[in-house]
Structure formats: C-alpha cells, structure tokens
Amino acid sequence: MGRVSVGEVNKDTADMSFEERVLCFRDQVDELIESLEGGSNVVLDLCDSDRVMLKPNVCVGEGYETGAITDPALVRAIAGFIEDRGGSPFIAEGPVVGNTGEEVFRQSGYDEISDIELVDLYECDFVDKEVPDSVKKEIDQLEVLDQGCRFDSIEIAKEALKSDYIINIPSLKTHVLTKVTLSLKNMKGIISEREKKKFHKKGLVQGIVILNQLISPDLSIIDGLIGQEGLGPINGSSINSGLLIAGSGSTITDIVGSRYMGIEPNSSDVIEVSRNLIADSNIIEIGEAEYRDFKEPGEAKDYENVEICSENACSGCTSAVYSILARLDSEGELEEILSRYDDLVVYVGSAVEEKDEEGFEVAVGRCCAHLKQNVDLYLPGCPPIEMLSEDAIRTKALDKEPKNTTENEVKSFLKDK
C-alpha cells in the first residue's frame, strides 16, 4: 500500500518573481514530503553528500506559465529541502529530440538556478541496460497489451543510474498520445535520443512501462501549480490548477494525479499497463482538494475535412501537426486550403501508409520520408520546424508568400531531405 500526499497552493504564482515563488513553495514542499514519512516510513534517508538527481519536465524551451514545463522555482525549492538534509542535488534532463538541454534550460528560465548543477543528459554517457527475463515474461502475459515484449534493452543515462536518489518532478499535463503525461512518462527524459525513436517504433506504452521497471525514482512530486490541458504536452492550454501531488511510487502518484485532473486513470494506457505490473495499487491518500476538470486531448478541436493519419507517431511531430493546423485556422488559411482542395490529408508516424484519398496530402517528419514521392508536400525534420512547415504549406498549397520566414529559407528547408 503506497502513500500519496496532495496539497493546494492558493496563490497566483504566474505574477511572482523567481525568488518569491521559491519561498512560496518551500514550506509546501517540506509539508508534502514530511506527510509521506509518517511512522517508520522514511522516503529519503539521505547521507551526507548523497547525489540526488532532480528530474523535472523541461521537454521544450517554454515558460513555466504555459504549463508545458516544471516550474524552475519549485525545483529549486525541492533542491533546498535536499540540501537541508545533507544531500547534493543536481538537475538533469534530456529534452524533446532535436533540442539540447543547454538551450531548453536557458529558454525555460532554469538559468535562474545559478547555484545548482544543470546536466544535459544528451551530453552524458548512456548504458545499454538489459531487460530481465522476468520483466519480459510479465509484459508477455499482460492482456491489456496487444503485443509481447519488444525490448531486449534500453539505453539509460549513466548519470541517472549512478545517482543515489532520483526525485521525479513532472508537470500536470494531458498528452495527445498517452492521455496524460505525469511521473511514469517523465522518466523518458533519461534515455538517449536514439532510444526515444525506438520507443515510438517498437511501442511507446510498453517502452515507458519497462523503463520504469528498470529504474524507479525514489519520490515523485507532480507540479500541478500551472498545468496544461487539451493538446498537451506542448500545444495545450494552461490551467491554474494550484496542486502539488507527491508519492513514493510513480504509478500510484499518477493514479492520484490523473484523478485530480478529472481524467479516469485507466483511460491512459501507460497507467493501466503499469498498474497491472505492481503488486499493490491500494493508496493511502493524505490531504485533499477538489478535483479539477482538465480538457482531454480528444476533446480538442477537430477540423472538418482534415484527416490526420497517424501510426507510431512521436509527440514532437504530433504536436507540430496540431500547432500548425491551429495557426493556419486562426489566419483563415485552413478554410482556403479546404475550399481549394476539398480535403487536407496529413500523414505522421513511421508505420503510416498512404491512403487512396483526394485532397492536398502532406507527410510530416523524417519517419514519413517513405511517402515523400507520393504526396503534395513533404515536411522534413525530426520534428519539422513549425514556422517553416507552416510557411511551406502556405506557399505550396495556396501560392502565397511566407509570413514567418523567407522564400529562400522555405526552399532550403524543403531541400533538407
């Protein structure tokens, strides 16, 4: 039976300075963790100089107020708790494929944490950690999965494996591929870029679940202060949810986190599969708050006469597609495309196959390169650059001038195949 603690922050943190937010969160962090440590239960039994990896969600270079990333001030507050117990914290992340840790840390305000080491896991060594036969057998026997175990090993950052403790600090978000992205999925940031691509080819859900069997954080603290709903994990809408949720097990923490989003936990395949692998999913819940009502990815806007054909697509390309469509729609140009071609067909993912469809056809991302000779427009990249992709559609489908870039930049982008 696991323990999960829930706390509310009834302050508008969006207008606070970094230092003000750190002070605001520090007492909350202390109370949250200490509430998990009732009786003989000690979550973090730190010795002097124990190296503690703090793993936030800094998948892209966005501000914390978007809900796309973990607030750096919360991470600094947690680091302060670790320091007070004698530990030596450092912050580590491997962002969305195509980005570097250095740039996303800077763009997301993590450079304000000047006294804690920031580690770009892509610059570190990786260890090919073998999947034990016992884990393979468990995966093979799960009825909730439509395929047996497809992983023999997973490349994990050596920094994560050699840490004395790991504190997982995800943000409270929806996700277009996994319904929610919380503690379990946030661990995907400790694997190599190459391994991330394999996850989307072999099976994202079982990859995430197996990874969490190979390496488990000692504590998860979900940043639900400002969450993201709808088309998360990047292009959703921010929501001031004012929650902090902590637990000693990722699966049970995610079950509670999903409930507080107003989303049924088992509607996320990641949570459902992981729940089937743990011996006891009973939860002692400490503290309480009202459930929120996050808009799910499936409730986001559907575009009439726009067909998105997706198979084994990553979140980077999927998010890019929805973001580009939203911008074209806001400019009235999506309507122009549909008026001219009747339909818009978008292909995304490594296993997607061309359909016999009428309309303007676009293949998105490096994994769709096999379709580039058969479609009207191929957008290269992993994932494609959104502003250039938007202008490429604008120029090719509507014979218009680029709005965000130049003609030469669009031509150069489309030649990058």
Residues 193/248, Cβ–Cβ less than 8 Å: no
In a domain, 226, yes or no: yes
Domain match, 282 and 305 both: no
In which residue are the tokens 């929806």 written? 174
Domain boundary (286, 310, 341) is at 286
Distance CA 390, CA 403 (A): 9
What number of other Cβ atoms are within 10 A of residue 195's Cβ? Answer: 22
Domain match, 346 and 216 both: no
Per-residue tokens: 99: 């980005």
The predicted pLDDT at position 382 comes to: 82
The predicted pLDDT at position 106 comes to: 97
Domain match, 282 and 335 both: no
Domain boundary (286, 316, 334) is at 286
Cα 386 to the chain's mean position, in Å? 18
List the domain range (segments joined by +) for residue 195: 2-286
Cα 15 to the chain's mean position, in Å? 25
Domain match, 75 and 12 both: yes
The number of CA neighbours under 13 Å toward the Cβ of 132 is 7
Per-residue pLDDT of the chain (417 residues; tens, 9 = 90+): 789 999 999 888 878 999 999 999 999 999 999 999 875 566 788 888 899 999 999 999 999 999 999 999 999 999 999 999 999 999 999 998 878 999 999 999 999 999 999 999 999 999 999 999 999 999 999 988 878 999 999 999 999 999 999 999 999 999 988 999 999 999 999 999 999 988 888 889 999 999 999 999 999 999 999 999 998 898 899 999 999 999 999 999 999 999 999 999 999 999 999 999 987 778 999 998 999 999 998 655 678 899 999 988 887 888 889 888 988 998 899 999 999 999 999 999 988 998 887 899 999 999 999 999 999 999 998 888 888 999 999 999 999 999 988 999 999 999 865
Domain boundary (286, 309, 325) is at 286
In a domain, 109, yes or no: yes
The predicted pLDDT at position 65 comes to: 96
CB-based contacts of 248: which residues, under 8 Å, 6+ apart?
2, 3, 36, 41, 43, 218, 219, 220
Closest by Cα among 124, 184, 183 to 155: 124
The predicted pLDDT at position 299 comes to: 58
In a domain, 196, yes or no: yes
Distance CA 252, CA 256 (A): 6
| 3-state SS, residue 284 | strand
The predicted pLDDT at position 385 comes to: 84
Per-residue tokens: 170: 């995800």
Domain match, 147 and 275 both: yes
Question: Phi, psi (5° rounding) for residue 346?
Answer: -120, 125
Cα 225 to the chain's mean position, in Å? 16
Closest by Cα among 352, 176, 189 to 268: 176
Domain match, 254 and 350 both: no
Domain match, 250 and 322 both: no
The predicted pLDDT at position 242 comes to: 96
In a domain, 292, yes or no: no
The CATH number for 96's domain is: 3.40.50
Distance CA 369, CA 366 (A): 5
Domain match, 90 and 161 both: yes
In a domain, 295, yes or no: no
In a domain, 133, yes or no: yes
Domain match, 317 and 268 both: no
Distance CA 71, CA 397 (A): 40
In a domain, 416, yes or no: no
Domain match, 145 and 192 both: yes
Per-residue tokens: 362: 């676009």
In a domain, 72, yes or no: yes
The predicted pLDDT at position 41 comes to: 66
Single pTM value for the model: 0.85
Cis peptide leading into residue 383 (ω within 30°): yes
Domain match, 149 and 122 both: yes
Domain match, 222 and 311 both: no
Distance CA 329, CA 336 (A): 9
Number of domains within the chain: 2
User: Apex CA 409: angle with CA 406 and CA 413, to 5°?
Assistant: 140
